Amino acid sequence: MKKVELNGIITPILTPMNPDESVNLTELRNQVERLIKGGVHGIFPFGTNGEGYILSENEKVEVLEAAIDQVKGRVPVYAGSGLISTKDTIRMSKKAEELGADVLSIITPSFAVASQKELYDHYVEIAKHVDTPIVLYNIPARTGNKLLPETIAKLAKDVDLIVGAKDSSGDWDNLKAYITETRELEKDFYVLSGNDSLILPCLKEGGTGGIAGCSNVYPEVLSSIYNLFIEGKLEEAEVVQESIASFRGVFKYGNPNTVVKKAVAMLGYPVGDCRRPFNYLCEEGIEALSKVLKENTDKGMN
């Protein structure tokens, strides 16, 4: 198994698209460079912001090949390889491993309701077929399935390859339980916040960072939350954490990943829209986003 430390701010990099909705690999490479220059600590294709839910398997291979090639080992690459069935997830995970991913981020199955035993068995079986560290990905609002803290702890204890968990539930008590339930393990286990507003609380509690969609827009700002925390500059980290609240406030107008991609496009990067039908932002939302982006640019946020 590769030895990878899952620390810092990992960007669930958006997938740039051309006007015909084909993947724009040239701009993907540009975004990788922009994010690494901005100080992010990892690149994560096929998170929610990467629209992994709507890309074909061939497109995923193309995106992952380009991302890994462009990163060139400067930061870890996390590949979102989770699909609905165990069989399909094994196939995609093996492909991501062959392409050179450093970490596999495996989201829970979706649509059909799964018991905790079914989820446990799902991850145990996947781990038998790969040799790359696995991060469990909990986002019940999107999948309909929640990984309970006790299931996380059991998987972490029983499966060597399972080295971390990302909680995108937005439930602070759940995220905190992930940390406390895995604190006494006889191995390093990394808990990452999937909610950008909880990055600093997660770090204070003993987590190790965040997979932060907003870092597509403000890579330097989000990365500095972690960096300031590590330097012991907690008051400064608090100020930076709070600075993204106005941008997150625009999420009420549409899908967060739609808002994030629209924001990056409005900053002047040709990333296109999200793939239809998930690409609408009302006029009020566009106006609010434009206002926040200008205010934050005037503050020097990058």
Give SS3 for 23.
strand
Q: Residue 179 and residue 205: Cα distance in Å, rounded? A: 7
Active-site position among 78, 120, 137, 253: 137
The answer as to whether 272 is a domain residue is no
**Cα 124 to Cα 89: distance, rounded to the nearest angstrom:** 12
How do residues 240-263 score in pLDDT, each as one tens digit?
999 999 999 999 999 999 999 999
Pairing of strands 42-43, 8-11: parallel
Q: What is the pLDDT of residues 74-116, one digit of tens each?
A: 999 999 999 999 999 999 999 999 999 999 999 999 999 999 9
d(CA 8, CA 226): 6
The Cα 298–Cα 291 span in angstroms is: 11
CA atoms within a 13 Å half-sphere pointing along the CA-CB vector of 22: 4
For residue 284, is it within any domain?
no
In a domain, 42, yes or no: yes
Select which of 146, 166, 176, 261 is catalytic. 166
What are 133's two structure tokens?
Answer: 């560290």
- Residue 197 within any structural domain of the chain: yes
Residue 2 has pLDDT above 90, yes or no: no
Alpha carbons within 13 A on the beta-carbon side of 202:
32
What's the domain range around 121?
8-241
CATH at 139: 3.20.20.70
What are 110-154's pLDDT values in tens digits? 999 999 999 999 999 999 999 999 999 999 999 999 999 999 999
Q: What is the pLDDT of residues 39-58, one digit of tens each?
A: 999 999 999 999 999 999 99
Instruction: Establish if 134 belongs to a structural domain.
Output: yes
DSSP 3-state of 193? strand
Q: Is residue 34 part of a domain?
A: yes
Does the residue 226 lie in any domain?
yes
166 belongs to the catalytic site: yes
The pLDDT of residue 166: 98
Instruction: With respect to residue 299, please indicate whether it lies within any of the assigned structural domains.
Output: no
Number of domain units in the chain: 1
